[in-house]
Structure 1
Amino acid sequence: MTNSDTIQPERDYKQKTAWVYLLNLIFYFIPLWFMRDDVLRISVSLLLLIPFVYSYYWAFKSASAKAIYPIGLMLLTASVAAPFTSGAISLFSFAAFFIGFFYSLRTAVFCFFILSGWLWTLDFLIGFEAYYFPLYGMLIMFVVGLLGVIEHNNERVRRQQRQSSDEIASLATALERERIARDLHDIMGHNLSSIALKAQLAEKLVETGNLPLAQQHLSQLADIARESLSQIRQTVSDYKHKGLTDTLQQLTGLLREQSIEVHLKGTLPKMPALQESQLGLMFTELVNNTIKHGNATECVWQFAHEDEQLSISFSDNASTKEIIEGNGLKGIRERVELLSGEFNYTTEEGYRFMISLPLSAQQIAQDKDVVE
C-alpha cells in the first residue's frame, strides 16, 4: 500500500465531515437576529454565504501551494460582509484556521498581524462602537488560527507515522523475500547439483553398458528428488502457517483500524500447529462478526491456561440481541468439538464468547489422529 493510498481515504472522510465545522456559523447568524427588520442587510449577508461556503470547501480540497486562492476568496467575502453584519468576524476566523493549517508558524503569525491591522481599518471605515469588532476579531482569529497550527502539526505527525509504517512494511517484505530465497537456495542448491551430477553419471554408465550401476544411480537420483519435494512442501507449509500470535496481532490491528479499542489479558501457551490453525480460524470469525454485525467500541481478549486446560474469552461492549447461530458460529462450534473442547457465549453485558480446550499431550495426539 502506498502512502497516497492511505492519505486519500482520510481526505475523502474529512471532506464528507467538513459540514460539521460550518455549525460555527451560528455566530454569523446571531447579529442578523437583532437586525431582522433590515431586510437589505440580512439579504446581502445571506447571499455572501454562497461564495464563503464555496471557498470553504475549496480550501478543504486544496494543497498548500494553491490554498491562497480559497483563503483569499474567504477573506474577500468576510471583508464585504463586514459593513452589513458584525458576524463577519466568524468568517475571518475560518480563514485564520486555514492560514494556520496550510502555512508555517512564522507565516501564520505574520498573516495574523496583517489581518489584525485590516480589522482595525474596517472598524475605522465602518464605525463600529467600542472597538469590539477588532478586539473580538483578533482574539477569535488568534485562538482559531492556533487550532489550525495544532492540526497542521498533528497532520504532519500522522503523515510521518504512515510513512514509517510503509517503510517498515516494505523492509519486512524485502527481508521476507531474502529469507525465502536463502531457504530455497539452501534446500535446493545442493540437491539440484547432486541430481545433475548423478544424471550425467548415469548417462555415461548407460553408454558404456554398465546398466546395473546406472540403475543404482538413477534410484539414488529418484530418492534425492523425493526428498527435495518433501523439503519444499514443508518449507511452503511453514510459510503459510504464520502462528497464532501473528494472527492475533493482525486481527487486533484490524479492530483498531475500525476505531475499536482492544485489550489483551493473559498469554497464549505453546501449542501444536493443529490447534493454532484452528484457533486462528475461530478468532478470525469472531472478529469479522464484531466488525460486520456489532456496534462495539471496545473488546477484550482474555487467555488463561491451568491444569492442562486453555480458556479463551472474547467480549465486546456492543448492544446485544438474541444470537441465531449461522454458519460462522456453527463452524466455530464444530472446530472446538474437533479439538474436544467446549464453546459457549452470553449476551448479558455485551457479547462474550468462551472457548475451552484441553492441552494435554495425550489429548493433542488423539485430536491429530482424528484429523489425519
Structure 2
Amino acid sequence: MSNINTTNSVNTSNAGVHPETAYRQKTAWVYLLNLIFYFIPLWFMRDDWARVAVSLLLILPFLYGYFWAYKSSAVQGKYPIALMLVTASVATIFTSGSISFFSFAGFFIGFFYSLRSAIISLILISIWLWLLNYMIGYEAYYFPLYGMLITFVVGLLGVVEHNNERIRRQQRQSNDEIANLATALERERIARDLHDIMGHNLSSIALKAQLAEKLLEAGELAVAKQHLQELADIARNSLTEIRQTVSNYKHKGLQDTVNQLCGLLRQKEIEVHLEGKLPPLTPLQESQLGLMLTELVNNMLKHSQASQCVWCFNTLDKHLVVNLSDNANAKTIKEGNGLKGIRERVSLLGGEFSYHINDGYHFSISLPLEAEQVSEPNTDNDTEQP
C-alpha cells in the first residue's frame, strides 16, 4: 500500500500522466493482496450464503474508493477515505474481515495528512471500532483490538511512505536543478570559448581589411598585399582553432553518455561503481562505444534486476578494455539483436566482445588504440566523476 500520486491535479487517464505516476497506478493492484484477510472469515461462514454474497458485493464500493484515493490529492483524499470507512463499517455487520478495509483507509490517512491529524483520525477510528464491536456484539474483543493494531501500524506505514515520497520528489527537483545548472554552465563555457577564439581574430581581420583598403587607395600595392596575406593567415588559423574546439566538444560526448547512463541506473536504485579513466578516442570509437554501453545498460534495466553494477575502464597492451558487471540473479544469456549489434560494432572497430555468468552478468569490450591514444591519456575523462 505505497506509492500514491500526490500531485494537486487529478488525471483520470494515462494521457499526460507522469510515467512514474502511471506506473504507481498500475502497481495499485499489487497491494490489494492484503484483501486476503477480508476473504478468510468468509470461508468459515460460507454456509451463510446471504452474508457472503453481501460481503462480496461490498468489495465493489471499496475498490472504487481505493483507486479513487490513488488518483487523488491530499485535499480530495478525504472523499475516497470516507467512502472506504463507510464501506468498512457496513461490512462489519456481515464479517469481521472488514478490518482489512479499515487498514487501507488508515494507510491513506497516514499518507495524505500530517502526523498529528493522522494520529487523531486513527484514534477516532479505534473508538469507532469499539462502538461497532459493542453494537454488533462480536465475542470477546478480538475485533477492536486487532483492528486498532492493524490500522495504527498500516497508518504509520502511510506516514513513512509520505515522507519517502516527499524525499523522492525533492531529489527529482534537485536533479532537475543540477541538470539545468550544468546546461547553463556549458552554454556559458561554449560562449566564452568562442569569444576568446574569435573575438580577437575577427577584430584583427577587420583592422587588416581596413588597412589593406586604405593602402590600395594610396597605391601601396606591395604593403597591401602583405597585409592581405596576413589577413588570410589569421582566417586560416581561426578556422583551425574553431575545428579543434568543436572536436574537443565532440570528444566529451562519450563521457556525457557515461554520466547519463550512470544517472539513469541510480534513478532505478542501482548502485554504480566506476573505476579507471577513458583515454582519448576517435569520433567513430566514441560514438560506437556509447551505443554499445547504452545497449548493455538497457539490457540491465530490462532483464537483470540487479542492485549493483561495476564499470571498469583500463588501458592494457594498447587496448581500451571496458568491463561491465552486475550482481543480478543471472540466467542463461540468449544472444538477441542487441548483443549481436554490439558484436558487429566491436568487429567494425577491430576489437573483441565477450561475456560470461559468474554471480551476475559480466560483459567485456576490448578496442585497439593508436599510439597517440595510449601515450596521451585524457585526464578530463576520469570516469570517477559521475
Structure 1 and Structure 2 fold alike (TM over 0.5): yes
- 5+ residue gaps, structure 1, are 366-372
- Partner secondary structure for residue 46 of structure 2: coil
Which residue in 2 is equivalent to 1:334? 348
Q: Which runs of 5+ in 2 are unaligned?
A: 1-6, 8-15, 376-386
Q: CA deviation at 1:224?
A: 1.6
1:267 paired with 2:276, answer yes
Q: Which moved more, 1:219-228 or 1:158-167?
A: 219-228
Distance 1:202 1:306, change over 3 A: closer
Compute the displacement of 1:97 (Å): 0.1
- Provide the secondary structure at the position in 2 that maps to 1:87: helix
CA distance in 1, matches of 2:155, 2:316: 58
**Residues 255 and 291 in structure 1, CA contact (< 8 A), matched pair in contact too:** no
Letter in 2 for 1:291: N
**Greater percentage in helix:** 1
1:124 is aligned to 134
* Stretch of structure 1 that moved more, 105-114 or 319-328: 319-328
Of 204, 208, 211 in structure 2, the residue corresponding to residue 194 of structure 1 is 204
Q: Deviations over 1:164-212 (max 9, x none)?
A: 1111111111111111111111111111111222222222233333333
**Residue in 2 that maps onto 1:282:** 289
Q: 1:163 to 1:227 in 2, by over 3 A?
A: same
2:273/2:311 contact within 8 Å kept:
yes
- State the partner residue of 1:166: 176
- Structure-1 separation of matches of 2:195 and 2:320: 40
1:73 maps to what in 2?
83
3-state DSSP of counterpart to 2:352: strand
Q: CA RMSD in A?
A: 2.9
More deviation, 12-21/35-44:
35-44
Alpha-carbon displacement from aligned partner over 1:317-342 (angstroms, at most 9, x marks no partner): 5423454773431221231x2xxxx5
Q: Give the direction of change, closer, same or farther, for the CA distance of 1:12–1:235 in structure 2 (3 Å limit).
A: same
| TM-score, with structure 2 as normaliser | 0.81
Question: Are positions 1:93 and 2:103 aligned together?
Answer: yes
Moved more, 245-254 or 132-141: 245-254
Cα 1:28–1:354 change in 2 (3 A) is closer
Amino acid at match of 1:271: P
Which residue is 1:108 aligned to? 118
Aligned pairs (5 A) from 1:237-276: 237-242=247-252, 245-257=255-267, 262-264=272-274, 266-268=275-277, 271-274=279-282
Which digits, 9 at most, give the CA deviation of each residue in 1:20-66, with x for residues without a partner? 11111111111111221222222211111111101100100111111
Higher relative contact order (CA 8 A, sep 6+): 2
Q: Distance in 2 between the 1:362 and 1:22 partners?
A: 62
Instruction: Name the TM-score, length of structure 1 as normaliser.
Output: 0.84
In structure 2, the residue matched to 1:230 is 240
Q: Residue 298 of structure 2 aligns with which residue?
A: 291
Q: Which amino acid aligns with 1:285?
A: M
Describe the superposition over 1:209-238 as per-residue Cα deviations: whole angstroms up to 9, x where unpaired: 333333332222222222212211211211
Q: What letter matches 2:324 in structure 1?
A: F
Shift of 1:308: 6.1
* Aligned mate of 1:320, from 332, 353, 376: 332
Q: How does 1:349-364 map onto structure 2 within 5 Å?
A: 349=358, 352-356=362-366, 361=371
Q: Residue 354 and residue 81 in structure 1: after superposition, are their counterparts in 2 closer, same or farther (change >3 A)?
A: closer
CA contact (8 A) 2:281 2:373 kept: no
Residue 343 of structure 1: which of 349, 352, 366 is its match? 352
Contact kept? 1:251, 1:284, Cα under 8 Å: no
Residue 55 of structure 2 contacts residue 94 of structure 2 at CA under 8 Å; is this kept in 1? Answer: yes
Show the counterpart of 1:134: 144
Distance 1:326 1:304 in 2: 24
Structure 1 residues 134, 239: closer, same or farther in 2, change over 3 A? same
State the identity %.
61
